[in-house]
């Protein structure tokens, strides 16, 4: 066996060091697969979902969550080199779980209000909806004053509850665990009205044909987004970059039109995603 002289040994070690440095540099521009970004479970996004956020997220016949935000987040997590798991909860329980680190994000469309921003961060906007006040078919209510003193329900910690507290303070407001629970109370005669998000109304009316109607609507003050644990700044930045890429390449619009085939894309969103306005124009659809 040949013995390496000190000079030859030094040369071999130097060459090895250069090779290692080169390999490291080659992968420096992209996050390594499994990079946890400080997530609750390394390499995996733990996303809270609710059982009543159709068509953003809702359970299929087997109980598995499906919907626009599931498709979107499955794509984004894959591009980030991460797995994603979904945990069903309520908005009321999910937000505290998010701030405590139990969840990394809420795969739910929430208005990014100033009050919520005190405890959680938000992704770039994904939707701009309407608050829809639904009443029994036989009701004569058509405005806020018509419901003064009446029992009006809304989902706990939802955008609709925020609206009810702000705009319908003369009503007797009732916090419901979910939209479905509130609609059941409305049909049972225990509520006089229920405030729903515009994306949910169509499904509710299909489930209860001829029993409910719209009293009036009001546009939401701000767009909807997904909430993220405030500590996960690196994750949020990487997530928003992938969201922007999907908006700009047409993927997000395709998902929107898949899950909202009868609902035009909200023109208020053009200020955030001007590329989508151009995409809709190319489809031959009118823009403001």
pLDDT band at 160 (very low <50, low <70, confident <90, very high): very high
pLDDT for 119-132, tens place per residue?
999 999 999 988 99
- Looking up tokens 């994904």 gives 126
Q: What gap in Å lies between CA 237 and CA 230, rounded to an integer?
A: 12
Exposed/middle/buried for residue 16 (C-beta within 10 Å: 0-12, 13-18, 19+) = exposed
Nearest-5° angle of CA 272, CA 237, CA 240? Answer: 35
List all residues 6 or more positions away from 59 whose beta carbon is below 8 Å from its beta carbon.
Answer: 51, 65, 66, 88
Which has the closest alpha carbon to 168: 137, 131, 140?
A: 131
Q: Which helix (DSSP H) or strand (DSSP E) does residue 215 occupy?
A: strand 212-219
Q: What gap in Å lies between CA 281 and CA 270, rounded to an integer?
A: 12
User: φ, ψ for residue 111 (rounded to 5)?
Assistant: -70, 130
Highest mean pLDDT: which range of 23-27, 90-94, 130-134, 236-240: 236-240
pLDDT for 267-288, tens place per residue?
999 999 999 999 999 998 655 4
pLDDT for 147-159, tens place per residue?
999 999 999 888 8
Q: Which helix (DSSP H) or strand (DSSP E) does residue 136 occupy?
A: strand 130-136
130-219: which CATH architecture?
A: 3-Layer(aba) Sandwich (3.40)
DSSP state of 208: S
pLDDT band at 74 (very low <50, low <70, confident <90, very high): very high
**What percent of the chain lies above the pLDDT cut of 70?**
86
State how beta strands 120-122 and 172-176 pair. Answer: unpaired
Rounded to an integer, what is the distance from CA 188 to the centroid of its chain?
A: 31
Q: What is the mean pLDDT of residues 112-125?
A: 93
Greater model confidence, 112 or 186:
186
Contact status, residue 48 vs residue 106, Cβ threshold 8 Å = yes
The mean of the pLDDT values for the chain is 87
pLDDT of residue 77 exceeding 60, the answer is: yes
- The overall longest dimension of the chain from CA atoms, in Å, is 100
**Strand intervals (E) in 10-82:** 44-50, 58-59, 65-66
Provide the residue ranges of all domains of the chain, joining segments of one domain with +: 44-127+223-282, 130-219
pLDDT of residue 5: 52
pTM reported for the whole predicted model: 0.73
Which has the closest alpha carbon to 111: 199, 27, 36?
A: 199
pLDDT of residue 263: 79
pLDDT of residue 153: 98
Q: What gap in Å lies between CA 288 and CA 277, rounded to an integer?
A: 9
Domains 44-127+223-282 and 130-219 share a fold: yes
Contact status, residue 121 vs residue 37, Cβ threshold 8 Å = no
Domain 44-127+223-282: give its CATH code.
3.40.190.10
Rounded to an integer, what is the distance from CA 127 to the centroid of its chain?
A: 9
Rounded to an integer, what is the distance from CA 255 to the centroid of its chain?
A: 13
pLDDT for 173-206, tens place per residue?
999 998 889 999 999 999 999 999 888 888 889 8
Highest mean pLDDT: which range of 60-64, 113-117, 262-266, 277-281: 277-281
pLDDT for 258-267, tens place per residue?
998 877 899 9
Residue 240: Cβ within 10 Å count: 16
pLDDT band at 36 (very low <50, low <70, confident <90, very high): confident
Greater model confidence, 227 or 206:
227
Contact status, residue 201 vs residue 132, Cβ threshold 8 Å = yes
Contact status, residue 176 vs residue 155, Cβ threshold 8 Å = yes
Residue 288: C-alpha distances to residues 123, 199, 255, 265, 267 (Å)? 26, 22, 22, 12, 8
Q: What is the mean pLDDT of residues 141-170?
A: 94
């Amino acid at each position: 066996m040949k013995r390496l002289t000190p000079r030859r040994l030094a040369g071999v070690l130097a060459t090895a060091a250069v090779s290692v440095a080169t390999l490291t540099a080659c992968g420096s521009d992209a996050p390594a697969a499994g990079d946890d970004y400080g997530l609750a479970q390394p390499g995996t996004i733990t996303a809270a979902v609710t059982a009543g956020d159709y068509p953003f997220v809702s359970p299929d016949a087997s109980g598995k969550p499906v919907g626009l935000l599931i498709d979107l987040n499955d794509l984004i997590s894959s591009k980030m080199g991460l797995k994603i798991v979904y945990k069903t909860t309520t908005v009321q329980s999910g937000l505290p779980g998010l701030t405590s680190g139990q969840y990394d994000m809420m795969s739910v469309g929430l208005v990014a209000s100033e009050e919520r921003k005190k405890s959680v961060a938000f992704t770039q906007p994904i939707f701009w909806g309407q608050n829809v006040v639904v009443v029994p078919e036989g009701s004569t209510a058509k405005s806020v004053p018509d419901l003064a003193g009446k029992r009006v329900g809304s989902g706990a910690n939802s955008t609709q509850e925020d609206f009810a507290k702000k705009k319908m303070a003369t009503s007797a407001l009732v916090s419901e665990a979910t939209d479905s629970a509130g609609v059941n109370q409305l049909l049972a005669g225990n509520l006089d009205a229920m405030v729903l998000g515009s994306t949910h109304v169509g499904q509710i009316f299909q489930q209860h044909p001829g029993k409910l109607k719209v009293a009036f609507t009001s546009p939401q003050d701000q767009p909807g987004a997904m909430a993220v644990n405030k500590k996960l700044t690196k994750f949020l930045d990487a997530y928003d970059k992938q969201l922007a890429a999907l908006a700009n390449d047409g993927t997000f619009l395709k998902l929107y039109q898949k899950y909202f085939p009868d609902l035009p894309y909200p023109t208020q969103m053009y200020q955030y995603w001007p590329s989508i306005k151009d995409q809709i124009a190319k489809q031959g659809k009118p823009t403001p």
